[in-house]
Structure 1
Amino acid sequence: MSPTQPTPREFLASAAPGTRVVVRYRIAGGGLTDALGHLVDTDDDGCTVRTRQADVVIPLELVVAAKEVPPAPPRRPARARG
C-alpha cells in the first residue's frame, strides 16, 4: 500500500519557508492559475509564494493543489549580437 498524500493545506502547513513550490488555486470567473516560486509563509488563512514578479498571497480556501518542485534550471547567458 502506498502512503496517503497530504492535502494541499497540510503540505503547505508543513513545508519549510524557502521551499520551491507550485500552488494551483481558483480565480474569479471559475478558472485556475498557478503560483510558482518560493514559499514565504503559511498561516491559518493563506500562504505567500514569492514568484519572479511579486509575492502572491493565496487564501487557503482557494487552493486546489500544491507540491514541492525542483530548483529552477540555470538561466542561459544572453547571446552576443553580431
Structure 2
Amino acid sequence: MQLRGRLVHRIAPDDLGERVSVRITHPGGGFTDIVGVVESWAEGVLTLRRRDDSTVEVREADIVASRVVPPVPPRRRGGRPPQAP
C-alpha cells in the first residue's frame, strides 16, 4: 500500500465483491489496517466482510491507503502443506 513513501488509495466503488486491504486513520492516532470483501459502498461508507464473517463499516474519508488483494487460498485438509524436495 505504500509506494516510495507515499500512501496510495487504489480501490473504487467498482471493486464491489473484491477482497481489499484498507488503511484508515485510527481515532487515537496512527493507523489501522482492515482486510475484507467489499459488500457495499454507498454515500461514502464501505461495508467490508471480514474473514470471521463479521462486518465493519468504513468511512471513505478515513481511508488513507487501499488496494485489492488476492482471495484467501482454501485451507488444506490434513494440516501442513507438502514440503519441497
- The TM-score with structure 2 as length reference comes to 0.70
Aligned residues: 71
- Shift of residue 78 of structure 1? 5.4
- State the distance in 2 between where 1:35 and 1:74 align: 20
After TM superposition, which residue ranges in structure 1, 4 or more long, deviate above 3 angstroms?
Answer: 76-79
Higher helix share: 1
Q: Show structure 1 runs of 5+ residues with no match.
A: 1-6
- The TM-score with structure 1 as length reference comes to 0.72
* SS across alignment from 1:48: strand
- State the distance in 2 between where 1:59 and 1:75 align: 32
* SS across alignment from 2:47: strand
Q: Show structure 2 runs of 5+ residues with no match.
A: 1-7, 80-85
- Shift of residue 76 of structure 1? 3.6
Query: 2:25 aligns to what?
Result: 26
Over the aligned positions, Cα root-mean-square deviation in angstroms equals 1.9
Higher strand share: 2
- State the distance in 2 between where 1:25 and 1:49 align: 13
Query: 1:42 aligns to what?
Result: 41
